[in-house]
Amino acid sequence: MKIRLHNARILTMNKDEEIFLGEVIVNNDRIEEVRKGSADDDNAAYDKVIDCKGNLLMPGFKNAHAHSGMSVLRSLADDKPLYDWLTQDIFPVEAKMTAEDIYWMSQLSALEYLTSGITACFDMYLDNPAMAKAMDDFGFRCVQVGGVNDFSDDLTKIERMYLSLNKPDSLQSYQLGYHAEYTTSLENHKKIAEIVQRQKAPLYVHACETKSEVEGCKERYGMTPVQFMDSLGLFDFGGGIYHGVHMSEEDFAVMKKRGLYVVTNPGSNTKLASGIAPITEYVKRGIPVAIGTDGPASNNCLDFFREMFLVAGLAKLHDDDAAALDAKEVLTMATVNGARAMLLKDCETLSAGQKADMIMIDLLQPNMQPINNIEKNIVYSGSKQNVKMTMINGRILYYNNEFFTDIAPMTIYEKVAEIKERLLAN
């Protein structure tokens, strides 16, 4: 399908390129052309023509850390510390989940992603084939990452999924990873390191989320989680960590040396009282930062506008400096850096040849007026009400508060309600 989106403000997210008036031409799953101004085109040459009416087109947000299949657990085990929350409430329910459960719960999260302008997620959860099918059937771009630990699955799954889910030009892909140091034995760490070395691939893992996690690792191995993982060769080919709240000077040095990404999850870290990540320190040291929502059980909402505001606001609070982090830097984290952390090299910017993963921000809303600085408006005053359109792979899945998915939202809601009743039954 060929689509013309004209009369738009365009934020390409290319470095140093300012917002301009123009139009975007989409041909099937890719951006064919980004034009400044308005061409005298014959609209009959297009399958669909959209007058953007001065609203903003930009790359979609990349949710660089998520647990989409946890949506059924939303608001069930709140107001507890992380370890108690996991061991007392989450793990017991997850033990009952089936592949079909994860299929429907992942689609519920995907619906919410669309309303927040999220066009791809970096997802760690239990059943990778079920998740891949859910997102494929939905039409959502998803990079999965291994989440094995001592209590779920076997380690051979990591490599099997890595070899089977990475297919050319697919909406689905997979990266090596595991849950965390504190849920994984030394023996299994060594086996994961063997897989990393064999595949020569990056690795992603939860690390340095809480003080107790860091102190526990020091007691076991005499090192922080980041240093311990690096000592085993787990980061020899890059990758990243999720959270990165409690960091040492040596941790920063490892991350810089290995070219690691940090994915900050301020909503979840705030709610679980894990702490405030040292975002400006990462930026100063040239360590790239991406943004994630974490799961809908720990956050509890998958709202990227809230995450962007928290990244900026908490950095200022952490540093006691209102100028600590610029909103434009936060937008880069939410789009370009997220795509790069997820190895989505053709989903970074709104440019010819890139995948047609874009959103339209409604500027004709009270919270976007007057138009003084659009980028800062998005981060500081933007909300989900401003997402007018979400397009993934050239397909419009959400427009004017209506979903255009193959499976009706009400079907998904009903299925998840049924799953909840079964999983929570005594």
DSSP class of residue 298 equals T
What's residue 271's pLDDT? 93
273 lies in a domain?
A: yes
Q: Assess whether pLDDT exceeds 80 at residue 417.
A: yes
402 bridge partner residues: 399
What's residue 123's pLDDT? 98
- pLDDT category of residue 422 using cuts at 50, 70 and 90: very high
Domain count, the chain: 2
**Whether 169 and 317 share a structural domain:** yes
**Whether 21 and 103 share a structural domain:** no
Closest CA relative to residue 123, chosen from 63, 41, 193: 63
What's residue 89's pLDDT? 87
Of 312, 341, 370, the domain-final residue: 341
Q: For residue 378, what is the domain's CATH number?
A: 2.30.40.10
**Whether 111 and 47 share a structural domain:** no
**Whether 32 and 84 share a structural domain:** no
Q: Bigger pLDDT: 341 or 424? A: 341
426 lies in a domain?
A: no
- pLDDT tens per residue across span 289-302: 999 999 999 999 99
Q: Assess whether pLDDT exceeds 80 at residue 153.
A: no
What domain range includes position 111?
A: 61-341
**Whether 217 and 257 share a structural domain:** yes
Residue partners of 241: CB distance under 8 A and separation at least 6: 204, 205, 206, 207, 208, 226, 255, 260, 261, 262, 263
- pLDDT tens per residue across span 345-369: 999 999 999 999 999 999 999 999 9
- Residue written as tokens 């040291």? 285
CA distance 297 to 304: 16
413 lies in a domain?
A: no
351 lies in a domain?
A: no
Q: Is 250 helix (H, G, I), strand (E, B) or coil?
A: helix
Dihedral sign (CA 317, 322, 323, 327)? positive
Mean pLDDT across 205-229:
98
**Whether 174 and 54 share a structural domain:** no
Q: Assess whether pLDDT exceeds 80 at residue 41.
A: no
217 lies in a domain?
A: yes
Token output for 416: 């998840």
CA distance 386 to 61: 13
**Whether 270 and 155 share a structural domain:** yes
Tally Cβ neighbours within 10 Å of residue 198.
9
Residue partners of 94: CB distance under 8 A and separation at least 6: 126, 152
105 bridge partner residues: none
**Whether 82 and 189 share a structural domain:** yes
**Whether 78 and 135 share a structural domain:** yes
**Whether 225 and 332 share a structural domain:** yes
337 lies in a domain?
A: yes
Mean pLDDT across 316-335:
97
**Whether 388 and 247 share a structural domain:** no
